[in-house]
Amino acid sequence: MTTPSTGPELQLLRPDHAPALLSFEEANRAYFAAVVPDRGDAYFRDFEARHAALLAEQATGDCFFHVLVGDGGEILGRVNLVDVADGGAELGYRIAEKATGRGLATRAVRQVCDLAVTAYGLTGLRAGTTFDNPGSHAVLLRTGFVPGGEIRLDGRRGTRYSLAL
């Protein structure tokens, strides 16, 4: 008898995630670039060094990088807390194109919000998204974030959100 899958698992970024994470980023590059700034060729060319730098930054407690791992080890998303300071952090996330529309982003953001309190001792989160990314707006609103005004993200208009934990 096998145990049914509970769906993708949120995991703190580790060194062994590198190959699957690079595959995730390469497979979804054009999809992500439609709503967020492209990471650029150097990101992919220097991925191994970039991954090591993220892990080193995470070890300091300044950031917490998470991946959403599906059956078989495939990465279906990322949910990160960056610029951790004074009880707060900036939330960022991206879900693979083939995994959208299934509630994974909402579930993963809720899990990271829980971790922010229970594991990282945070009291508030910030997030922002561009106006042309309605899916991201919906995720933030469903997870309790409150809009707090207009911002510019890499030259594009958007909304700033906050969440008291």
CA torsion, ordered 73, 77, 83, 89, to nearest 10 deg: -110
Whole-number pLDDT of residue 4: 52
Q: Supply the pTM of this predicted model.
A: 0.92
Going residue by residue through the chain, which has 165 residues, state the pLDDT in tens, using 9 for 90 and above. Answer: 444 557 899 999 999 999 999 999 999 999 998 888 789 999 999 999 999 999 999 999 999 999 999 989 999 999 999 999 999 999 999 999 999 999 999 999 999 999 999 999 999 999 999 998 999 999 999 999 999 999 998 888 999 999 999
C-beta of residue 163 within 8 angstroms of C-beta of residue 129: no
Give the number of other CB atoms < 10 A from CB of residue 73.
10
Whole-number pLDDT of residue 78: 97
> What is the widest separation between alpha-carbon atoms in the chain?
54
Give the full edge-to-edge strand order of the sheet including 124-130: 9-12, 64-69, 75-85, 88-95, 124-130, 156-164, 146-153
Span 9-164: which CATH code?
3.40.630.30
Give the number of other CB atoms < 10 A from CB of residue 28.
19
Whole-number pLDDT of residue 36: 80
Whole-number pLDDT of residue 163: 98
Please tell me the distance from the alpha carbon of residue 5 to that of residue 9, in angstroms, as a whole number.
10
Please tell me the distance from the alpha carbon of residue 17 to that of residue 25, in angstroms, as a whole number.
12
